[in-house]
């Protein structure tokens, strides 16, 4: 049975009753199959599963979609029950930030200003601040994050290591629609035509991956991926980059990460894929 709490005091009491290891899945609600994969991973690896549902205002810019971000708590709770979550913490903004917007926020460092951070200034300050607060409140042993938000996963891992936070961060592979589109809460903003257009992001990643498997160099992998967008005026490409697995400058050989961000209509989408470079 899934218990639901809304205050810090209720969370502390419910958390104290959980014996064994606790895995936390942090969400902003609007749960979909991608979140269910996180819950399943947590269920497999921890004795108890704790889910947080909180739309964090700190990570939304002035022109972003905080007010229209979907709030579907009843549906989210049904997903949590179906996945066997033990506890859901769904606080209000006032409960998370009782003194208003915090004056002290985590600095994500150089990487926090690149890629998503360059397009969304201050975004990762807000993400890492709320993640650390929730890790403190939940006292989780394991924390599960999707690889779809790969930069977030990378920065959370770095934060946990740099600040000696006693939690193990577990990355869970991206869940995709049958046509390859990465599952995202923002997909619901796409019109039917835009939904078809959005497939180009995963198509570009697959083109780059195929080139890498055929022995292409890093430069040629990017050429192959960029070619997917060559005649697409309906996609506003933000970035398409090849990095190492830690999002440092791209390697010549070995494991690498191909990342893309673009706007389709008014909806901004991101995706990424692990590849291996073995140029001939």
Residues noted as catalytic: 35
* Residue 57 CA: distances (Å) to CA of 23, 54, 87, 210, 243: 24, 9, 23, 39, 29
* 3-state SS, residue 5: strand
Parallel, antiparallel or unpaired: strands 254-264 and 236-243: antiparallel
Rounding to the nearest 10 degrees, give the CA dihedral for residues 72, 78, 81, 83: -90
* DSSP element (H, E) containing 236: strand 236-243
H helices of 17-122, where?
33-45, 73-83, 93-96, 116-119
CB 41 within 8 A of CB 170: yes
**C-alpha–C-alpha distance, residues 2 and 43, integer Å:** 13
Query: 121, 174, 128: which is closest to 154 by C-alpha?
Result: 128
- Indicate the pairing of strand 22-27 with strand 142-146: parallel
CB-CB contact of 132 with 156 (8 Å): no
Q: How far apart are CA 95 and CA 2, in angstroms?
A: 21
């Amino acid at each position: 049975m899934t218990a639901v709490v809304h205050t810090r005091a209720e969370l502390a009491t419910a958390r104290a009753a959980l014996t064994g290891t606790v895995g936390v899945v942090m969400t902003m609600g609007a749960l979909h199959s991608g979140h269910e994969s996180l819950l399943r991973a947590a269920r497999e690896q921890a004795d108890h599963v704790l889910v947080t549902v909180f739309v964090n205002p700190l990570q939304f810019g002035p022109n972003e979609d905080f007010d229209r971000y979907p709030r579907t708590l009843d549906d989210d709770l049904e997903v949590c029950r179906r996945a066997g979550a033990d506890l859901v913490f769904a606080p209000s903004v006032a409960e998370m930030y009782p003194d208003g917007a915090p004056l002290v926020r985590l600095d994500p460092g150089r990487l926090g200003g690149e890629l998503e951070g360059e397009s969304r200034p201050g975004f990762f300050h807000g993400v890492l601040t709320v993640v650390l607060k929730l890790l403190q409140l939940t006292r989780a042993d394991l924390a599960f994050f999707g690889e779809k938000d790969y930069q977030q996963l990378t920065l959370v891992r770095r934060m946990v290591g740099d600040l000696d936070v006693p939690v193990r961060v577990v990355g869970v592979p991206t869940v995709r629609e049958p046509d390859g589109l990465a599952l995202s809460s923002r997909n619901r903003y796409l019109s039917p035509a835009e939904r078809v257009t959005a497939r180009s992001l995963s198509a570009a990643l697959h083109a780059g991956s195929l080139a890498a498997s055929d022995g292409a160099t890093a430069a040629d992998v990017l050429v192959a991926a960029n070619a997917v967008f060559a005649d697409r005026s309906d996609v506003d490409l933000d970035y398409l980059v090849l990095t190492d697995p830690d999002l440092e400058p791209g390697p010549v050989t070995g494991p690498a990460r191909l990342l893309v961000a673009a706007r389709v209509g008014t909806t901004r989408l991101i995706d990424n894929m692990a590849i291996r470079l073995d140029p001939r």
